[in-house]
Each structure stands twice: as C-alpha cells, then as structure tokens.
Amino acid sequence: MKLDTLLVVQTRTLGDELAGEPVGAWTDLRREWAKVDPISGREYLVAQQVNATTSHTIATHYFAGATSDMRLVRKRISDDAVVRQFNVESVINVGEANRWLEWRCEEVGVG
C-alpha cells in the first residue's frame, strides 16, 4: 500500500471558557502518511445504507488511541492552512493486528 498523502490527526480541545480558553478548538496530535481513496459508486451505495455521509476511506499506520472523535486534515506546507478536511465517522484496527487503521470519513468543505 502506497501512503502518499501527509495528513494531520487532530483532536478537539476542551478549553475553559471562563478562563478565556477556546472551547472546541482543534489541536494537532500527530502527522501520518496516508492513502486517501474516494469510495466507488457501488461502495457509496452500500455505505449509504450504513452511514449516509461516508465519502472516503483513509489508511494509515496503526497508533494507539485513534477514535472517531478525531478529524484528519491536509495542510498546505507554505502556510499550514487547512486545504482538505475529513470528519471521522469510524476507525477500524484492520484485522486487530495493530498494523493498519482504516478511517471512514466524510470530506467537508474548508472555508
């Protein structure tokens, strides 16, 4: 499998609004090389029966603690701006082998 896209795994920060900290801001957790695949028309029809919004399957190396509460983003190297954003719907430890993660995601507009 060719991992050819560098993505950033982000987690939501639970700030203290009373202390002036942003509530619900996203924080970079780690960078991961990934294989990003849009799902095919047939897979899309099947995916809609399970979850109507899945648009991409993303593969990364396994790391402990991956959850569907995270999101994956692709950032521009020159200024670190987000150019693609994938909201995670589910994440699977493929074969429970601790080798690969399969992320089912919905790509959303950046804007």
Q: pLDDT (tens digit, 9 = 90+) per residue, 52-76?
A: 567 899 999 999 999 999 999 999 9
Q: Say which range, 17-26, 33-42, 90-99, has the weakest mean pLDDT.
A: 17-26
Rounded to 5°, angle at Cα 70 from 43 and 88 = 15
How much is the pLDDT for 20?
Answer: 65
Residues with Cβ within 8 Å of 109's Cβ and at least 6 positions away in sequence, in order, are 85
Rounded to an integer, the average pLDDT of 26-54 is: 76
92: how many CB neighbours lie within 10 A of its CB? 13
In this prediction, residue 39 has a pLDDT band, given cuts at 50, 70 and 90, of: confident
pLDDT at 15: 67
Answer yes or no: are the C-beta atoms of 95 and 32 closer than 8 Å.
Answer: no
pTM over 0.85? The answer is: no
